Structure 1
Amino acid sequence: MHEHREYTEGCIDIICEEWGRSRTVRLLKVMLEKSCPTLPYNIVLILRSNSSRTKVVGHSRLSIVLNKKNFAFVETVVVSKSHRGKGLGRKLMEETEKHALKLGIETLCLTTLDKQDFYRHLG
């Protein structure tokens, strides 16, 4: 995300689609705009069409776990509702794990209230 700020609005759209508009878009923008080469780090899954147009279809975020070296917290893992069931969630998590390894992260932490089956399915 830090290299492609043009995807910010697309990320905001799918985050709001999933969790409603309880958080202001401004708050989401601040969260997304803090993305950097280290942590916090936002991953964007895009779909390219034949006409070279792109659309944001997924987003995840790695953030710092305080007082824990080589740990990161996985946040806001989401795939657009219209693109679910196509293996994109798995792809997004695989890319999130790859980026974590590149950053020297050895342990990923996550929490979920309603997606336990998804993470269990991924192993």
Structure 2
Amino acid sequence: MSFLFIESSTDRLIGHARICLLPNRPTACWIESVIVEKNCRGHGLGKLLMSSLEDVAKKFGFDEVAYLCTDDQVVFYERCGYKKCDPILHSTTATSVFPISNLKDPQSKAEKPTQRCDSKKAVQHTKSPSSTQAKMPLTISNSPAGASLPVAPPPPPAPPKKVPMAPVSTVDHQYMWKKLI
């Protein structure tokens, strides 16, 4: 949920903050993107934004704790009642996931053939909505006495290439919390 401060005389955006859910903490929230336009700072708007955000958070059931992280505004947040704490698990991406059962199979409504290629012969099988099992693939007979062997499955895909990643660091970040009373 985002909060906007808009200057009434010009309809100009001068402040913003957002509340997000925390994984496995339904009564706690994560506060992020707290910004007040530079030329509007020093007039109490940041404190007003934080206090308004905290009041609304409590109304929505976030009555445990509010967490946030800052690079350079520790003094401001301490003046708002926040205390330093250890890093916590949080996510700033989508906080709900579509259940897999709600996803539709694009091939489920019509009978569509799929093909597998083998070095000797292409094999075709069909998925049918009326049957829960696919028809068995055709077999190739190259062995003596007419014995029939099933076609070997294709090899597994190659593993993805590993890309070196920089370790995640919280050195420049200060995590903070405040009890929402």
Category of TM-score, reference length = shorter chain:
0.5 to 0.7
Superposed displacement of residue 47, structure 1: 1.3
Is 1:44 the counterpart of 2:1? The answer is no
Q: Deviations over 1:42-67 (max 9, x none)?
A: 00011111xxx311110000001001
> C-alpha distance in 1, partners of 2:54/2:12?
22
> What residue number does 1:98 align with?
55
Unaligned segments of structure 2, at least 5 residues: 82-181
> What residue number does 1:66 align with?
23
Aligned length: 80
1:110 alignment partner, SS class:
strand
**Letter of the structure 2 residue corresponding to residue 104 of structure 1:** G
> C-alpha distance in 2, partners of 1:82/1:111?
23
> What residue number does 1:11 align with?
none
> What residue number does 1:109 align with?
67
1:111 alignment partner, SS class:
strand
> What residue number does 1:122 align with?
80
Give the fraction of aligned pairs with identical amino acids, expressed as a percent. 34
Q: Deviations over 1:23-81 (max 9, x none)?
A: xxxxxxxxxxxxxxxxxx000011111xxx31111000000100111111000001001
> C-alpha distance in 1, partners of 2:47/2:79?
9
TM-score of the superposition, structure 1-length normalised? 0.63
Which residue of the other structure, out of 60, 76, 98, is the alignment partner of 2:33? Answer: 76
2:69 alignment partner, SS class:
coil
Q: Deviations over 1:59-111 (max 9, x none)?
A: 00000100111111000001001100111001100111011011100111111
Q: Mark the structure with the bigger radius of gyration.
A: 2
TM-score of the superposition, structure 2-length normalised? 0.43
Unaligned segments of structure 1, at least 5 residues: 1-40
> What residue number does 1:89 align with?
46
| RMSD over equivalenced CA pairs, Å | 0.9
1:104 alignment partner, SS class:
coil
Superposed displacement of residue 122, structure 1: 1.7
Q: Which runs of 4+ in 1 moved over 6 A?
A: none
> C-alpha distance in 2, partners of 1:48/1:115?
27
> What residue number does 1:24 align with?
none
